[in-house]
Chain A
Amino acid sequence: AQSVTQPDIHITVSEGASLELRCNYSYGATPYLFWYVQSPGQGLQLLLKYFSGDTLVQGIKGFEAEFKRSQSSFNLRKPSVHWSDAAEYFCAGDDYNQGGKLIFGQGTELSVKP
């Protein structure tokens, strides 16, 4: 069955430190991959997406993600975290044959220490 896994439920980093959030996927073929961010009580905002081509994708708010087929991973990174980055982060996959029926990971809650 298709799945997306985020191994880390909660991560705490210091402001200014680098960040990496992990995401692994299990699909028959390489899916479209997305990272969304959700602030408390809010909807989901798209950070970045990977469809094909360059395996390093740039997103909004200084985030980037790297697709690694050999590891079935799509990890999100940011070189220097800001206090405003504290939120819930979701990785999601979409089988291109399904078109818009996203499968989400459980989410990783990011806390930022001053």
Chain B
Amino acid sequence: ETGVTQSPTHLIKTRGQQVTLRCSSQSGHNTVSWYQQALGQGPQFIFQYYREEENGRGNFPPRFSGLQFPNYSSELNVNALELDDSALYLCASGRQGGETQYFGPGTRLLVL
């Protein structure tokens, strides 16, 4: 059973650019959630996807958007990057109705 994988591991962008981060869910999981972890902070919930639709969203602006594909992989897109978007972005997968989220290693984004 493969775990949750994310790509790329690191990324550097400039303010105003757009970025796409990718996540491959753990086998057998059908939900994917994205979290933002700023330096020295706990992760914050961005949104969750289930059946290719957004299934709950945290306190993040619309320039944060996502996709879930039929194979349960997922993308996080961030438009008009701001310096404060610099963070570790974590993807977590689970089963709808299940209780446990399993996390990937994260993508570290630096916005200059």
| 15 pairs, A vs B, C-beta closer than 8 Å | A43-B6, A43-B105, A44-B92, A46-B100, A46-B103, A94-B99, A94-B101, A100-B31, A100-B48, A102-B33, A104-B35, A104-B42, A104-B44, A107-B40, A107-B41
Chain B contact residue count (CB 8 A cutoff):
29
Q: A-contacting residues of B (Cβ < 8 Å)?
A: 4, 6, 31, 33, 35, 40-45, 48, 56, 58, 90, 92, 94, 96-106, 108
Minimum CB–CB distance from B25 to chain A (whole Å) comes to 12
**Residue in chain B with minimal CB distance to A34:** B100
User: Which residues of chain B have C-beta atoms less than 8 A from A103's C-beta?
Assistant: 45
**A51 interface residue, CB < 8 Å from B?**
yes
| Interface of A toward B, CB cutoff 8 Å | 4, 6, 32, 34, 36, 41-46, 49, 51, 90, 92, 94, 96, 98-107
